[in-house]
Amino acid sequence: MTLIKYPNGNRYIPKQAVNRQLAVKKKHDEVLFGHRGMALEDELNASNEYYRATEQAVVYKKPTPVQIVKVDYPKRAKAVIKEAYFRQPSTTDYNGVYQGRYLDFEAKETKNKKSFPLKNFHQHQIDHFSRCLLQQGICFVIVKFVSLQRLFLYPATQLIIHWNEQESTGHKSIALADFEKHGFEIDYAIQPTIPYLKAVDQLIMH
């Protein structure tokens, strides 16, 4: 495992990593499959934290958009939001910068074993990807087949093709074989849990 150093010379060890390293001593397999109960979002947040700490990329999940209606300001306490509503996001969930490139992506899970249903996406996400691609952004989805424990980085360009063709072809999902052909498989690792930047490199080189 590579040692990570902060600019101040201190070694950086995320809490999760410490726990994982202790676990490694116990049983190696337990660690590699330790992510099974972890939601994709948590795995990506931890991976992004690692990428930031090691100065490899700056990527964040955007906050959930909320329309705030009523706020209370109790004395000597912090403001409490008393009434608010979830809003429809206009964009995808993740974006950031990696070696001068703009990254933009969405993360999705499925329990299906053979295909990924397109109904997991929304028109506004497709539109957002199209706009970002026009600006030469690197756009993709990270799809996790939970039952298979397989992860793919899949180009937004391919997603858009399937999205636009679903009416004419009647195909409401993307086959696993298509992920194997046009996507880039990501193997779970210890640090970061989801080393997706390797797949981003492949996408850029492609």
| Residue positions forming the annotated binding site | 91, 93, 106, 125
Q: How far is the CB of 99 from a second copy (least distance, A)?
A: 6
- Nearest approach, Cβ of 195 to a second copy (angstroms)? 17
Residues 6+ positions from 23 with CB-CB distance below 8 Å: 30, 31, 34
| Burial per residue of 194-204, b for 16 or more beta-carbon CB atoms within 10 angstroms, e otherwise | bbbbebbeebe
CA–CA separation, 136 and 158 (whole Å): 15
Return residues touching a second copy (CB under 8 A).
52, 55, 57-58, 60, 62-66, 68, 78-87, 89-91, 95-102, 104, 128, 131-132, 134-137
Query: Which residues sit in the known binding site for Mg(2+)?
Result: 91, 93, 106, 125
Looking at the Cβ atoms of 95 and 193, the one nearer to a second copy is 95
Is the CB of 50 or the CB of 152 nearer to a second copy?
Answer: 50
Q: Which is nearer to a second copy, 134 or 205 (CB)?
A: 134
Which of 40, 84, 44 is closest to 65 using CA atoms? 84
Rounded to whole angstroms, the Cα distance separating 129 from 138 reads 9
State the Cα–Cα distance between residues 139 and 127, nearest whole angstrom.
12
CB nearer a second copy, residue 156 or residue 176: 156
Closest contact distance (angstroms) between CB of 103 and a second copy is: 8
User: Which residue, chain included where needed, has tokens 């053979």?
Assistant: 114
Q: Shortest gap between Cβ of 151 and a second copy (angstroms)?
A: 24
